[in-house]
């Protein structure tokens, strides 16, 4: 074990874990989840992209597509939700945030179903900020 004073070698030393490549079914599964995660905004696609981008080509491609699609509406929904507190017009922003969420949910579920069949999906309207 390491030095009891906390200096030197850490008590949990060992060989760094090298992540194995995803199998074809795992690759499709994580790619699908990246799109379905759009229901919760851009965070699921971002996490899947960062964790699995080097482990599966289909997951890398589809999580990036999902992230690029969900990032702008997530930002817009956050802004709309903050503007809800403005007197008189706040209700309009509440409706706008709800419409954004419904639209992203519908497109994300449709894309997830498409990707789950093993076919790549491209959103028709996508800024593709992340290359």
Whether pLDDT at 38 is above 70? yes
**30 within a domain of the structure (yes/no):** yes
**89 within a domain of the structure (yes/no):** yes
Give the span between the Cα atoms of 58 and 52, in whole angstroms. 10
Domain that holds residue 62: 24-117
Q: What is the pTM of this model?
A: 0.81
**70 within a domain of the structure (yes/no):** yes
Q: State pLDDT tens for residues 10-37.
A: 566 654 467 789 899 999 999 999 999 9
Number of domains into which the chain is organized: 1
**68 within a domain of the structure (yes/no):** yes
**3 within a domain of the structure (yes/no):** no
DSSP secondary structure string for all residues of 27-57: HHHHHHHHHHGGGG-SHHHHHHHHHHTTT-H
**12 within a domain of the structure (yes/no):** no
**19 within a domain of the structure (yes/no):** no
């Amino acid at each position: 074990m390491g030095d009891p004073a906390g200096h030197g070698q850490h008590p949990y030393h060992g060989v760094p874990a090298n992540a194995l490549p995803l199998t074809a079914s795992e690759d499709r599964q994580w790619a699908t989840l990246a799109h379905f995660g759009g229901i919760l905004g851009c965070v699921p696609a971002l996490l899947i992209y960062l964790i699995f981008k080097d482990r599966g080509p289909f997951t890398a491609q589809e999580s990036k597509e999902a992230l690029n699609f969900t990032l702008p509406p997530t930002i817009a929904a956050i802004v709309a939700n903050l503007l809800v507190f403005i007197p008189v017009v706040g209700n309009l922003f509440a409706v706008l945030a709800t419409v954004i969420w419904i639209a992203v949910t519908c497109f994300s579920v449709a894309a997830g179903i498409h990707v789950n069949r093993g076919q790549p999906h491209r959103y028709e309207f996508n800024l593709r900020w992340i290359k």
